[in-house]
Amino acid sequence: MYTIRIDREKCKGCDACIAACPNDLLVLSKEFNKLGFTYIEQVHPEKCTGCGMCALVCPEAAIAIDKDDQPKVKRPKVFKDVPTSYCPGCSHGVVHRLIAELIEEEGLQEKAVGVTPIGCAIFVYRFLDIDYVEGAHGRAPAVATGVKRVQPDSFVFTYQGDGDITAIGISEIIHAANRGENFSVIFVNNGNFGMTGGQMAPTTLLGQKTTTSPFGKKVSDGYPIKLCEMLAGIEGSAYIARGAVDSPKNIIKTKKYIKKAFQAQTEKKGFSMVEVLGICPTNWKMSRAKANEFVKNEMTQVFPLGEFKVSKEEA
């Protein structure tokens, strides 16, 4: 029999697991944990098939699954055993877990170096048990270049938000790709400057409302920048892809893209980047479910998913 184990002290009650469960086995408790959030509880454990969808979508990696008391799905060791500081439903936790799983699966923990800039992305250093270097706003690619050149045997990746990488850091990322720097980039696109209050970003969709575009972004504010399409045309890039974490299917695909980006680096093929479409329910002023619908119905129309460049050696 399968048993779903929910860490109540990490759960923020975002209900992503409730929506993902095909058998309606999860409900929101009326009790509160120490963080002040209601948490998820399992009902009808005898009906669980162990599909793992609940654990797959959990931003806090707060769900484990056992079969006959043997672990089937567990929290990756690289993902520190602490609650995240993100808002309920935020996509950053899901992306953190995918990175942690791959670092663990690929045996990269001892030589991994993460580079973080400013923005919500900066907090990744709190949750992944690897070495870090912090760069100035937008300068993570320059810092990563220095780390990788000085320590070429290390595994280096930047973790950046859209307000960082497509605004003040746009020149840094273009030239790093153009030089073919052999590091990887994970770029989380939630269409706004999340940390500082939800201001309009270069990736904000036309018509999308933010704190600095309360009536909707206009053409005169600039079209959404499509970074994958831009970098795919640069000779120095080896692997470029765009995924999303709005559904179990897309989470699985996104993990495959990140794995390919990491392998492009370990195989010394050059620059790699995976853009991940994520949600920001708090600044978007939407429920988690509505935010995921926005990604599916609106964002993917402007930012289509898929692989944009695969090096000839990989093809």
Low-confidence ranges of the chain (pLDDT < 50): 314-315
pLDDT for residue 1: 83
**Domain 92-310 architecture:** 3-Layer(aba) Sandwich (3.40)
3-state secondary structure of 51: coil
CATH code, 2-73: 3.30.70.20
Question: Which pLDDT score, from 0 to 100, does residue 69 have?
Answer: 79
Beta-strand (E) ranges in the chain? 2-6, 26-32, 38-42, 63-67, 70-73, 112-116, 131-134, 155-161, 184-189, 192-193, 199-200, 237-244, 271-277, 306-310
Q: Phi, psi (5° rounding) for residue 251?
A: -65, -45
Percent of the chain with pLDDT over 70: 99
Query: Measured between alpha carbons, how far is 92 from 297 in angstroms, rounded to an integer?
Result: 20
Q: What are phi and psi of 95, to 5 degrees?
A: -65, -40
Surface-to-core class of residue 235, CB atoms within 10 Å of its CB (0-12 exposed, 13-18 middle, 19+ buried): exposed
Domain boundaries, the chain: 2-73, 92-310
Q: Using one digit for the tens of pLDDT, what is the confidence trace for 78-106?
A: 999 999 999 999 999 999 999 999 999 99
pTM value is: 0.95
pLDDT tens-digit profile of 259-285? 999 999 999 999 999 999 999 999 999
Sorted by sequence, the CB contacts under 8 Å of residue 222 that are 6+ apart come out as: 202
For residue 72, give the 3-state DSSP assignment. strand
| Domain 2-73 shares a fold with domain 92-310 | no
Nearest one of 126, 121, 215, 113 to 167, comparing CA atoms: 121
